Chains A and B, each alone.
Chain A
Amino acid sequence: MKLDKTGPLEYSTQQNQMNILGFWIFLGAEIMLFGTLFASYFTLENGVGNGPTGAEIFEIAPVIWETIILLTSSFTIGLAVHAMRINRKNATLTFLAITLVLGLAFLGIEIYEFTHYYHVGATLQTSAFTAILLTTLGTHGAHVTFGLFWGAFIFLQIKKRGFTPETTNKSFIFSLYWHFLDVVWIFIFSFIYLKGLM
């Protein structure tokens, strides 16, 4: 295996470089995926039928908390990658762990939010608006859930194997994924919640 010693470890092999490029392309596909969800959301936003509108069901407090938590977790995953680059294993693991805990907290609040919607009568079946709202949020939430497992597995691998071209590569790609989820959330926050509340 050819090792390129000049760049960071996660870029060191050709396979590593291809993994990262491939993941960027995957994120391109993910942009289309969420883009389609947003386009459908804007189309169906007013299709409330007999159900409630966004302004009637959105609660600002949990949304603000979700935003703060997810933004912070995006910062901590950045710190984890930085610690990895300067070869600090324990710091990396700590920041990765903090990221995952924050992700879990985000998910907890989102579950609370969903039960709230259920109690105010905004379920998947209520109207086209509630369905696309819950589908968009749910798709993002499912991505976060998937990310939690993925991140936990990477945590275990770094713990066991230390920094290798593989583990650093995986961590870096995971950080891209996590930042991406954060960006999507910013769009959800702006164009679903803020727009709906206004």
Chain B
Amino acid sequence: MKVKLGLILIMMFISSILAGCEPLLVLNPKGPQAETTANVIWISIFTMAVIVIVVITLLIIMVYKYRASKQSEDYEPPHIEGNPLVETIIVAIPVIIVIFLSIVSVKSTYEVESVPEGYENEDPLVIYASSSNWKWHFSYPEQDIETVNYVIMPTNRPIEFRLYSYGPITSFWIPQLAGQKYAMADMVTKINLVAETPGDYPGRNANFSGEGFAKNSFVATALTPEEFDKWIDEIHSTAEPLTEEEFDQLLEPGHLGQLTFTGTHLEFAPAPEGEHAGHHHGTSEDDNDNENHSNSLIIK
């Protein structure tokens, strides 16, 4: 008996922590994408809690009511093959729950993959986020600047992160703004998100990528559009331009602090998209001759 009570207490403990004073990152969204997922998570937690409670209640009833010590010595349990009605019910209930959650899942997946509602008509800010062991490089082609290990974006404007990797598969993740997406060497993946509240949000690579993985993190800062423009202007007046040699050095395995440059590495080392898809980019010079070949590559 104590187990079951204990389990219920644990469940209550968990939900109190989940809803507790200091909200968990994933459940403390600062943009519409993360908000959608947080809502979906809450819906699923409540639905699932019902199932868990039903199962535990049934188990408690069975174990309590039919324990041997409570029954007479000569009680012979009956032979019961099964009952079509009961079995239909135990099939139907999970089916209904699964159908409900399937609809939630498909609908919300389409939502978080597209530009958030209400922002469809705005011109997105494109930021290329590329990972190398064990850093994140953020290139702003529009603003012509590049940062390392931190990214600053304006609030209330759709941001399109284009992700790829100089090495192992990594996973780009800012829990409070949107879910993860892999960054890979031979293709570009995309995350659409909007930050609605200014602030600093932790971000990291969530996919194991070797020795320096634990510290492969960055800070994502959302500024008001005015402050964002001010920040851009400031960088253009203070930062050094990013040269190819310097970029190659940045790619060397290791950890770096936060760095800022004008210009982006995309100019001399384009992202693996369009005609550059399917190429390795650590050795961009060698590959230049073969670019015609890459047109024929179909990487799904």
Do A and B share a direct contact in the complex (Cβ within 8 angstroms)? yes
- Which residues of A come within 8 Å of B, CB atoms? 46-50
> In whole angstroms, what is the CA distance A50 to B288 when docked?
12
B297 in contact with A47 (CB, 8 Å):
yes
CB distance from B247 to the nearest CB of A (A): 24
B298 in contact with A48 (CB, 8 Å):
no
A46 in contact with B290 (CB, 8 Å):
no
Give the contact-size bracket for chain B.
under 10
- Which residues of B come within 8 Å of A, CB atoms? 278, 290, 293, 296-298
Smallest Cβ-Cβ distance to A51: which chain B residue: B293
Which residues of chain B are within 8 angstroms of A47 by Cβ–Cβ distance? Answer: 278, 297
A50 in contact with B297 (CB, 8 Å):
no
Smallest Cβ-Cβ distance to B293: which chain A residue: A50
Smallest Cβ-Cβ distance to A46: which chain B residue: B298
> In whole angstroms, what is the CA distance A49 to B296 when docked?
9
CB distance from A135 to the nearest CB of B (A): 20
A48 in contact with B296 (CB, 8 Å):
yes
| Between-chain CB contacts (< 8 Å), 12 pairs | A46-B296, A46-B297, A46-B298, A47-B278, A47-B297, A48-B293, A48-B296, A48-B297, A49-B290, A49-B293, A50-B290, A50-B293
Smallest Cβ-Cβ distance to B297: which chain A residue: A46
> In whole angstroms, what is the CA distance A50 to B298 when docked?
14
Smallest Cβ-Cβ distance to B298: which chain A residue: A46
CB distance from A120 to the nearest CB of B (A): 17
Which residues of chain B are within 8 angstroms of A50 by Cβ–Cβ distance? Answer: 290, 293
Beyond A46-B296, A48-B296, list 10 extra A-B contacts (CB 8 Å). A46-B297, A46-B298, A47-B278, A47-B297, A48-B293, A48-B297, A49-B290, A49-B293, A50-B290, A50-B293
> In whole angstroms, what is the CA distance A24 to B297 when docked?
39
Smallest Cβ-Cβ distance to B280: which chain A residue: A49
> In whole angstroms, what is the CA distance A46 to B295 when docked?
11
CB distance from A197 to the nearest CB of B (A): 17
Which residues of chain A are within 8 angstroms of B296 by Cβ–Cβ distance? Answer: 46, 48
> In whole angstroms, what is the CA distance A198 to B293 when docked?
19
> In whole angstroms, what is the CA distance A46 to B296 when docked?
7
CB distance from B173 to the nearest CB of A (A): 28
Which residues of chain A are within 8 angstroms of B278 by Cβ–Cβ distance? Answer: 47
Which residues of chain A are within 8 angstroms of B298 by Cβ–Cβ distance? Answer: 46
Smallest Cβ-Cβ distance to B279: which chain A residue: A49
CB distance from B298 to the nearest CB of A (A): 5
> In whole angstroms, what is the CA distance A49 to B291 when docked?
10
> In whole angstroms, what is the CA distance A48 to B296 when docked?
9
Which residues of chain A are within 8 angstroms of B297 by Cβ–Cβ distance? Answer: 46-48
CB distance from B13 to the nearest CB of A (A): 46
> In whole angstroms, what is the CA distance A49 to B298 when docked?
11
> In whole angstroms, what is the CA distance A46 to B294 when docked?
10
CB distance from A25 to the nearest CB of B (A): 31
